[in-house]
Structure 1
Amino acid sequence: MNLLLAEVAQATQRLAAAGVPSPRFDAEELAAYVHEVKRGELHTVADSEFDARYWEVISRREAREPLQHITGRAFFRYLELQVGPGVFVPRPETESVVGWAIDALRSMDVAEPLVVDLCTGSGAIALALAQEVPRSRVHAVELSEQAYAWARRNVDTSPDAARINLVQGDATTAFDDQPELHGRFDLVISNPPYIPLTEWEYVAPEARDHDPQLALFSGEDGLDTIRGIEKVAARLLRPGGVVVIEHADTQGGVVPWIFREESGWTDAADHRDLNNRPRFATARRAAL
């Protein structure tokens, strides 16, 4: 075993003791980041090339600073995104939400699907949809000035930038002053804040202490923003258009009921993620 692999083994023990959920992966990822190699190439780093900065970044991760804030990058589906303080770090769970949306768009008889991503954060969802549904046109909305700046960086460096309209604004009032867009969208998607304020102390330190509060909490029951997005989706979607919205795994029995038939919705349903946990709700705008 070379020196770096031995240090990674020690780092893994330290991160595990600190409660880091994926200690081995994070120890290897940080080693690869510091030494500018791929994780599978750690064994090729000569002992003489070991960089002591590795222990600096391990100390930061040990203090539960997000891995992505340390490396400055986050991976989401086929994307590598720039992230850091002030923006929500995209999670693997959201990939299944986007997968459902992509399948829905591909099944539509629409040449150039029109999509809006509300609470876009880093732009992860909007960029994934633009990349994987090549003829789509995507509007992305973000309220936070800091998060918007990160999304701007990611959109501006994307080959699909020309098909993404990034705007700074409130997801619960999006495009209310642009009647030409009302009733035109094929899909509304969002990973909104949905954690109840009463559950602050149970949130993982990486999120609670580093993700922006605006991206995490939404009222006493966590559903304030989702209720607002329901009204926006009702205004923006064409008849037959669909909404897909992520929620906490404890809200699976509640969110579909927000999309009521008397408000013009049909087919409201909940869906499970790859871990078989309730993760997102969908509904279809009723035909006229």
Structure 2
Amino acid sequence: MLARAARVLADAGVPSARAEAELLAAYVLAVPRGRLALADGFTDEQLDRFEALVTRRSRREPLQHLTGSAGFRHLELAVGPGVFVPRPETELLAGWGVERAAERVADGTTPVVVDLCSGSGAIALSVAQEVPAARVVAVERSPAALTWLRRNAATRAAAGDRPIEVLAADVTAPDLLAELVGRVDVLLCNPPYVPLAVAVPPEVAGHDPAEAVFGGGDGLTVIRPVLRRAADLLRPGGAVGVEHDDTHGASVPDLLAADGRYTAITAHHDLADRSRFATAFRRTDHRRPPTADTWQTGSS
């Protein structure tokens, strides 16, 4: 049955068809994927359910919508229609933010961490779980995404993680988080960044919210104001990390350098060696230098 399901998914163009067939079977049987070989066979009802899910997946409905959850670092997050499904590559940006927040805790500080375009809350909730001393603020505009964000935040708080603060707001607003100007230790953002002309997989085109995917003609429509506002919000020495399209490996670091308020600008690649996110630190001298900093490529 797994082999047949894998063939159906492969014929439909689903990547990693065998693995996804196993994940769907494990979901139906309520067992970890690694224990499928030890599980009893499907009941008739389970088989019908499994075949129905395989059919839906073959129509390129996201696997995470079928199972209702997405794994992200050490979390399982509820996801579904109306919210962007978090990607494994974003775990690198979240991990970088966790490290920066943990450094502040080691220095005896309660860090303020802001997650812009929070979506399901993947980055914000990872920081709250892994750096429980941090104050974490998650900002999201979409009413549909906010429903999933608040649901995940409530679930993690009930599990014992430090509660996060959820704010409904547009991250491009010039007065965003006015009460935190000059006080933020770490600002992270996984914004909509795909250029409008870029073709995306059916799972994205048909199911991820367009406002969470596309960032205008060049993909930088949201990133530009986010970088400007981040410089206002960060304390001197504060850290910013922004995910971007793999075609933005030079343009986003260049935007950081051109602003003049950032230093130690670094371009990061993902595990497939694609440009994935850029990081920088707020200058401590509060000045805009006459010439922009150069930037470097770092490992993630």
TM-score normalised by length of structure 2: 0.89
Q: Which runs of 5+ in 2 are unaligned?
A: 286-300
Match for residue 150 of structure 2?
152
Q: Does the aligned pair in 1 maintain the 2:110–2:133 contact within 8 Å?
A: yes
Q: Does the aligned pair in 2 maintain the 1:142–1:169 contact within 8 Å?
A: yes
Residue identity matched to 2:168: Q
User: Is 1:60 aligned to residue 59 of structure 2?
Assistant: no
Residue identity matched to 1:217: F
Q: Pick one of 9, 19, 41 that aligns with 2:3.
A: 9
Q: Distance in 1 between matches of 2:207 and 2:42?
A: 35
Q: Distance in 2 between matches of 1:62 and 1:233?
A: 41
Instruction: Measure how far apart 1:218 and its partner are.
Output: 1.0
Match for residue 112 of structure 1?
110
User: Is 1:46 aligned to residue 43 of structure 2?
Assistant: no
Q: Distance in 2 between matches of 1:95 and 1:177?
A: 25
Match for residue 190 of structure 1?
189
- Give the alignment of 1:88-99 within 5 angstroms: 88-99=84-95
User: Is 1:70 aligned to residue 66 of structure 2?
Assistant: yes
Q: Does the aligned pair in 2 maintain the 1:136–1:163 contact within 8 Å?
A: no
Match for residue 3 of structure 1?
none
Q: Pick one of 119, 122, 129 that aligns with 1:121.
A: 119
Residue identity matched to 2:67: T
Residue identity matched to 1:164: I
Structure 1 177/281 Cα, relative in aligned 2: closer, same or farther at 3 Å?
A: closer
- Give the alignment of 1:197-236 within 5 angstroms: 197-199=196-198, 202-236=199-233
Instruction: Measure how far apart 1:157 and its partner are.
Output: 1.1
Match for residue 276 of structure 2?
279
Q: Distance in 2 between matches of 1:179 and 1:203?
A: 36
SS of alignment partner, residue 211 of structure 2: helix
TM-score normalised by length of structure 1: 0.93
Q: Does the aligned pair in 2 maintain the 1:155–1:161 contact within 8 Å?
A: no
SS of alignment partner, residue 94 of structure 2: helix
Instruction: Measure how far apart 1:114 and its partner are.
Output: 0.3
Instruction: Measure how far apart 1:153 and its partner are.
Output: 0.2
Instruction: Measure how far apart 1:45 and its partner are.
Output: 3.6
SS of alignment partner, residue 197 of structure 2: helix
Match for residue 4 of structure 1?
none
Residue identity matched to 1:121: G
- Give the alignment of 1:235-274 within 5 angstroms: 235-260=232-257, 262-274=259-271
Instruction: Measure how far apart 1:162 and its partner are.
Output: 4.8
Q: Does the aligned pair in 2 maintain the 1:194–1:222 contact within 8 Å?
A: yes
Deviates more, 1:218-227 or 1:153-162: 153-162
| CA-based RMSD | 1.6
Residue identity matched to 1:56: A
User: Is 1:19 aligned to residue 17 of structure 2?
Assistant: no
User: Is 1:164 aligned to residue 161 of structure 2?
Assistant: no
Q: Distance in 2 between matches of 1:212 and 1:88?
A: 6
Deviation string, structure 1 residues 238-279 (Cα, Å, up to 9, x no partner): 010010000111110111011125531111120111222111
Q: Which runs of 5+ in 1 are unaligned?
A: 1-6
Percent of matched pairs sharing the same residue: 50
Instruction: Measure how far apart 1:46 and its partner are.
Output: 3.3
Point out 4+ residue stretches in structure 1 off by more than 6 angstroms: none
Residue identity matched to 2:79: V
Aligned length: 279
SS of alignment partner, residue 109 of structure 2: coil
